[in-house]
Amino acid sequence: MAELEFVGGYPTYMRESIKKVEQTRNRRIGKLVDQMTPKEREDILNLCHPDYAPGGKRELKIGPNKGDIVPNEVADLLEAYPLVNPDKIDLSVVDYDTDILIIGGGLAGTSAALLANDNGIPADRILLTNKLRHGDANSMMAQGGTQAADRPNDSPVLHYIDAMGGGHFTNKPDVLRALVEDAPGVIKWLEELGALFDKDENGNFVELTGGGTARRRMHACADYTGMEELRVIRDEFRNRKIPVLEFFPAIELLTDEENKVVGAILWNMETDEYKIVRAKATVLATGGFGRLHIRGFPTTNHYGATYDGPVMAYRTGARLRDADTVQYHPTGAAYPQQIIGLLLTEKLRTSGAQPVNKDGEEFVFPLEPRDVEAASFIRECYIRENGVKTPTGMKGIWLDTPLIDILNGPGATEKAFPAMVRMFQRFGIDMIKDPVLVFPTLHYQNGGIETDPEGSTNIKGLFVAGEISGGVHGKNRLMGNSTLDCMVFGRRAGVHSAEYVKKGVDVGQPGLKHVKKYVDELKSAKIETDRKSPLLLPDYRGKAALARGIDIF
Amino acid sequence: MKIPYFPGCTLKTTAKNFEISALEVSKVLDIELVELPKWNCCGTVTSLTDDDLMHHLAPIRDLIRVEEMNESGLVDNEYRVVALCTMCFNVLKRSNQRIKERPDEFKKLNDFMYLEKDYQGKTEVIHYMELLRDLDFSKVSEKVKNPLKGLKVSPYYGCLMLRPKEVGIDDPESPTIQADLLGAIGADVIDNPFKTRCCGSYQTVRDKYTVAELAYDIITRARKNGAEMITSSCPLCLFNLADRQKEVMELHPEFEPMPVLYFTQLMALAFGLDEKYFGFEDNFIDPRPLLREKGLLK
Amino acid sequence: MAEKKISLMDTVKQASKGVISGIDKKDVEHWVEIYFLGKAYQVPAGLTIMQALEYAGYRLIRSCGCRAGFCGACSTVFRRKGEYKLQTAMACQTRVEDGMYLVQIPFSPAEKPLYDIEKEKYEASVFLKYFPEVARCVSCNTCTKACPQDLQVMDYVQAALKGDYKQVAELSFECIQCGLCAIRCPAEIVQYHVAQFGRRMYGKYGIPREENTEKRVKEIKNGEFNKKFEEIMSLSEEELRSVYTEQQNTREVY
């Protein structure tokens, strides 16, 4: 391969395609391709959405959801052996005795801690544990916004209908209702805590729409929405002196004789030492599974998104819901190599950026629901062969970002997307002058451990909140409903786990009977593998180094 | 006229009434105080250290700003910067002098601040009272609508306006500038032999009772000569003379409080400006009863 | 068609090979040498520092978070070949260069003062109450030079000294709390904690609230939407679908 010459961050051959985009730009302004009909949407999903394409999923052989279809990577973790040996581990010494153990400190876990504290649980009777640092979570990276129906021309009912439609009518109705009814209260709560939302001079929110939403109800903090929200509630958490552990993932839940969840085994990732936590209630808020790279897709998720929570919960008998669906965000960065898979928020399209193919032609309505949009990008690249190929072999289509300043005035892109402008600048690309290359990326776990409006599960003592839960979004989540989900159900899990504790919980002897039972099931189902789970961290070490590795310590 | 203006931290926080009154009074005198667009704390005491060059970064940066204001057209060929807070004035002026006397340190500082334009040495630091004196106090008198007749005011100078000699704006032993200014706005000026005695400065943080004793002496001596009010140009002096009167009364129960004001507050009153520019509600000892008694305030 | 679909997914998987698992030596064309903690490693050119360390065989536990420049976990300090100046960067957002000499700083031992913003007055003096060290700022600008987000850190510290909450919030908004400023500051100020406090105070006290939100919260509490919800939730999926389609047709222009 000849040496590549780069202009403005792009190799010259990609510049050719950019020229075509520039040529068609003027005629495309304000003119959008029509929205698809429901039948067209269904067709394209079946044609090339990774969730629908065969070969990626299989039936679960064991557990409460035996017989259900889940992605292979998920099944690999559920049908795997525990990290601890139930017969060899000493559970007699309890290191932490607490009322509420929260596993995972993103928006959901931190909200749960705050609300539990607000509702009568003293700070020192709550323990939040994190696999990495407190705040290392997908929440920190959320960009676009938080939905809440607070305008007069909008209502929670409209929000409900939008989310139902986007979820292909599979959402759990009472759970979804809880989401949309609590939403304005969550915004108010954040305002009182001092979060800085985009507002005009009069204090009114600047609200935009998102894919599949009929009204403008997205509350954003530039393109740092998740970061701002989490920073604020984490600061409040710290002010309350609630105990927190870092680099201490949970590697197994503990149950008692009644199969109530009564705590967890935590593992110090840096010293290999395990600790036993006995808790009256446990809230699982471990987030997503992007680092499983389902179907080989890159991901927007953070380093620790490895499906730990559902694996541990499933072993206790907690039911999964909609675990077969995976959300691929249509616009993940596809170039340059260093940022492949990273999130380019939907708000880009809401602000006017249009997806176009290598010839500068528009080919889809910019704001279809995410699964439809992603499928159409894949079709454009790999079936119609109209994508642009990068030097590393990734294919993508252009997102015409210069339209944002053209439609909204100079400086609009910098104001609304400072994080993204900076990210591209670091790699020599000016997204205000040039389009950026995008391709779908693995983004969100639509389903998960089934929840109810109170954040409880079918296992006593086990609560869930956030991306780990299933039922809120049905089979497909809308933009702006995830940060909302985390905070609504984080708060509810906090409130209800507190109530559960206050009623009086008889914590039996913490044990791993459920794990032994699970291992027996694995053996009966003839699952022979040396796979172990939870995964904890992905492995990106260079193959050469690994091939020469000796495991001495 | 438009002139660069350095407020200093205190005028934006605990001495807002100093700035509010000064800005409005300046308008009446056709002086537009153009605040430095970006400025940092002058550094106060630490910026006067002799053995730590790092502490001179802060004041020199502010002097660079003045040069930048000229380049960007915010002011027209005006390299003087005026300070109201006497401590800021003293620090900025001394740093400016010092760096011009030591060319190798001048270069070192400029090199260190490689993200800034080099300081050319053009800026000149003046105190607001100097500005008025250069304008001529008669011009001040012309704007007086409400002469402060009958108000017996004693000017207090403290240290930093007058010392060291290289920085001082008047005779360090027998200054008259503030007295002249008060006279120009119609007040009955009362001399105080302790007018240049140190108020105790930052000792107020560790040893407030020593400061209270100093304040007691200064105020009592002024009162002996008939003073009913004291004016100052330094927020720290004002704090020590006014806010510490609480401790003075602990030590001397018979002590009667005396209001201490910023000179610009009296100027605002004398110019007949709207009440909102006086800032009297922030003065520790409320001057309003006294002023009403004299018929100077409604 | 089925074969095409399977190979479609495999093709996609191949295209993202380098980012979903460890990189293979045979796929690399250009190399550079970097020094991590003083040890030399040959790594593929063009990778980020984080990807290069993983290529070299490090399984990252510390110094790795979002991998996207948002979380401040991968703070890195380095020198370029032949240069004396220390540079700072986030490892996930910075490409390796030949001769780069680097170390990572996964943690900043910075204390955070505890406060209850409900009980604080929106006044300038509150900054100095919780962060008295802000008055020690010598305006040396070291923090600004250290910031990987190119923020005007010294300016917002000075704004805090002046009690200007708005400026603190505006200048510090994009802070990812990586800790590099605090580590380098000669006055031991923890800039990002000052900024967090300033932002929360400004958000709570400095900006007016939208009345609609407050109103809507009350309406929901009073059950004003109960009837509509009961109606909607009693519809069949068919009926719900048509309501949805109609609603999508009334969507606000974005």
Residues B38-97: tens digit of each pLDDT? 999 998 888 888 888 889 999 999 999 999 999 999 999 999 999 999 999 999 999 999
Distance from CA of B74 to the nearest CA of C (A): 20
Q: Which chain C residue's Cα is nearest to B45?
A: C136
To test the contact with chain A by mutation, choose from C23, C120, C216, C241 the residue with the greatest count of A C-beta atoms within 10 A, namely: C216
**3-state per-residue secondary structure call for C115-128:** CCCCCCCCCCHHHH
Structure tokens at C251: 């969507």
Higher-scoring residue by pLDDT: B288, C3:
B288
Chain A residues lying within 8 Å of C47, measured CB to CB:
337-338
Q: Tell me what the mean pLDDT of segment C223-227 comes to.
A: 96
- Helical pair C153-161 and C165-172, crossing angle rounded to 10 deg: 160
Output the CA–CA distances (angstroms, integers) from residue A367 to A213, A225, B257, C249, C251, in the order listed. 9, 20, 71, 13, 11
Q: How many CB atoms lie within 10 A of CB C7?
A: 13
Q: Which residues of C touch B12 (CB under 8 A)?
A: 124, 162-164
Interchain contact C188–A (C-beta under 8 A): no
- Helix A173-193 crosses helix A156-166 at what angle (to 10 degrees)? 120
Cα–Cα distance for residue pair A286/A469, rounded to 1 Å: 10
In this structure, is the dihedral angle defined by the CA atoms of residues B200, B204, B207 and B211, taken in order, positive or negative?
positive
**Closest residue in C to A304 (Cα–Cα):** C65
The shortest C-alpha distance from C128 to chain A (Å) reads: 18
- Nearest residue of B to residue C136 by CA position? B43
Out of A191, A300, A542, whose CB is closest to C23? Answer: A542
Q: Is A378:A371 a contact under the CB 8 Å cutoff?
A: no
Rounded Cα–Cα distance for residues C59 and A542 (Å): 10
* Beta carbon pairs, A and C, within 8 Å: 297
Residue C5, pLDDT score: 53
Pairing of β B2-6 and β B80-83: parallel
E-strand stretches of A158-201: none
Q: Token pair of A278, please?
A: 């006995």
Catalytic residue list contains A329: yes
- Listing DSSP states for A214-243 in one string gives SS--EE-STT-HHHHHHHHHHHHHHHTT--
Chains that touch A (3 or more CB pairs under 8 A): C
Which of A341, A276, A336, A277 is closest to A305 using CA atoms? A341
CB neighbour list of residue A257: distance below 8 Å, 6 or more residues apart: A508, A509, A511, A513
The contacts of residue A485 (CB under 8 Å, 6+ apart) are A108, A179, A466, A467, A469, A472, A473, A477
The confidence score (pLDDT) of residue A188 equals 97
Per the document, the length of chain A is 553
Strands A436-445 vs A326-333: parallel, antiparallel or unpaired:
antiparallel
Which residue, among C12, C201, C233, would best test binding to A if mutated, counting the most A CBs under 10 Å from its CB?
C12
Contact C138 B113 (CB under 8 A): no
Sole residue written with tokens 């009434």: B17
Is the separation of the CB atoms in B229 and B258 below 8 Å?
yes
What residue type is assigned to position B21 of the chain?
Answer: S
Cis peptide before A82 (omega within 30 of 0): no
Q: Which residues of B touch C124 (CB under 8 A)?
A: 12-14
Q: What is the dihedral of CA A110, A112, A113, A115, to 10 degrees?
A: 120
The model carries a pTM of: 0.92
Q: Which contiguous run of DSSP H or E holds residue B268?
A: helix B263-270
Within chain B, which residue ranges are assigned CATH 1.20.1050.140? 2-129
- Contact criterion met (CB below 8 Å) for A472 and A328: no
Considering CB atoms only, which of A50, A153, A383 is closest to C9? A50
CB A489 within 8 A of CB A450: no
Ramachandran quadrant class, A377 (left: phi over 0; alpha: psi -120 to 50; beta: rest): alpha
CATH fold, domain B2-129, is Glutathione S-transferase Yfyf (Class Pi); Chain A, domain 2 (1.20.1050)
B269-296: b or e for each residue (b if 16 or more CB lie within 10 Å)?
bbbebeeebbbbeebebebbebbeeeeb
Do the chains contact at C163 and B115, CB–CB below 8 Å? no
Across the interface, whether the CB atoms of A224 and C174 are under 8 A apart is answered yes
B174-198 burial, b at 16+ Cβ within 10 Å, e below that, comes to: ebebbbbbbbbbbbbbbbbebbbbb
For residue C2, what are the CA distances in angstroms to A39, A49, A55, A379, C9?
Answer: 21, 13, 10, 15, 11
Looking at residue A2, its pLDDT comes to: 56
Among the partner residues C138, C155, C163, nearest to B54 by beta-carbon distance: C138
The residues of chain B that CATH labels 3.40.50.11810 are 137-293
C44 preceded by a cis bond (ω within 30 of 0)? no
pLDDT confidence tier of residue C4, bands split at 50, 70 and 90 = low
CATH for B137-293, options being 3.40.50.280, 3.40.50.150, 3.40.50.11810, 1.10.3720.10:
3.40.50.11810
How far apart are the CA of B19 and the nearest CA of chain C, in angstroms? 13
What stretch of H or E contains B101? helix B86-101
Show me where the domains of chain C are located.
29-104, 117-206
The Cβ of residue A533 has, within 10 Å, a number of other Cβ atoms equal to 22
For C174, the closest of A382, A418, A542 (CB atoms) is A418
Nearest-CA distance C91 → chain A (Å): 11
**pLDDT, averaged across chain C:** 93
List A125, A315, A321, A329, catalytic entry: A329
CA A383 from chain center: how many Å? 28
**Between C124, C136, C144, which is nearest B12 by CB?**
C124
Angle between helices B86-101 and B103-112 (to 10 degrees): 110
Chains that touch B (3 or more CB pairs under 8 A): C
Q: What percent of chain B has pLDDT over 70?
A: 100
Element (H, E) at A524: helix A513-524
Cβ-contact C43, C32 below 8 angstroms? yes
* Partner residue facing C139 (CB), from B12, B13, B57: B57
CA distance C127 to C194: 8
How far is it, in rounded angstroms, from Cα B83 to Cα C84?
Answer: 40
CA dist B60 → A216, B94, B95, B113, C146 (Å): 50, 10, 7, 10, 21
Instruction: Assess B57–C contact: CB distance below 8 Å, yes or no.
Output: yes
Interface probe, candidates A150, A344, A376, chain C, greatest C C-beta count within 10 A: A150
Token pair, residue A197, equals: 């939302």
Element counts in chain A: helices (H) and strands (E): 16, 24
Q: Which chains touch C (3 or more CB pairs under 8 A)?
A: A, B
Option in C8, C57, C71 nearest A136 (CB) = C71
User: Rounded CA gap, C147 and B115, in Å?
Assistant: 14
Average pLDDT across chain B, whole number: 95
Contact, A335 vs A342, CB < 8 A? no
Residue C2 has pLDDT above 60, yes or no: no
CA distances B238 to B87, B215, B229, Å, are 12, 10, 12
> Are β-strands A395-400 and A448-450 bridged in parallel, bridged antiparallel, or unpaired?
unpaired
Distances (CA, A) of B274 to A550, B34, B140, B267, B277: 83, 22, 18, 12, 6
Helix (H) or strand (E) holding B2: strand B2-6
What tens-digit pLDDT sequence spans chain A (553 residues)? 456 788 889 999 999 999 999 999 999 998 888 888 889 998 998 888 998 888 899 999 999 999 999 999 999 999 999 999 999 999 999 999 999 999 999 999 999 999 999 999 999 999 999 999 999 999 999 988 999 999 999 999 999 999 999 899 999 999 999 999 999 999 999 999 999 999 999 999 999 888 788 999 999 999 899 999 999 999 999 999 999 999 999 999 999 999 999 999 999 999 999 999 999 999 999 999 999 999 999 999 999 999 999 999 999 999 999 999 999 999 999 999 999 999 999 889 988 999 999 999 999 999 888 888 999 999 999 999 999 999 888 899 999 999 999 999 999 999 989 999 999 999 999 999 999 999 999 999 999 999 999 999 999 999 999 999 999 999 999 989 999 999 999 999 999 999 999 999 999 899 999 999 999 999 999 999 999 999 999 999 999 999 999 989 7
| Cα–Cα dist A447/C223, whole Å | 29
Residues of C in contact with A141 (CB under 8 A): 66, 68, 70-71
Run of H or E residues at A10: strand A10-11
**C31 lies within 8 A of chain A by CB:** no
Class of domain C29-104: alpha beta
Residue A142, token pair as written in the block: 């959320």
Burial code of A494-525, b = ≥16 C-beta within 10 A, e = fewer? bbbbbebbeeebebeebbbebbebbbebbeee
* Cross-strand pairs, A388: A396
- The class that CATH gives domain C117-206 is mainly alpha
Token digits of residue A505: 């919980």
According to DSSP, the β-strands at B32-35 and B2-6 are: parallel
CB within 8 Å: C139 and B61: yes
Which residues of C are less than 8 Å from A184 in CB distance? 213, 216-217, 220
Cβ separation of C161 and B54 shorter than 8 Å? Answer: no
Q: What is the pLDDT of residue A1?
A: 44
Q: How far apart are CA A77 and CA A314, in angstroms?
A: 11
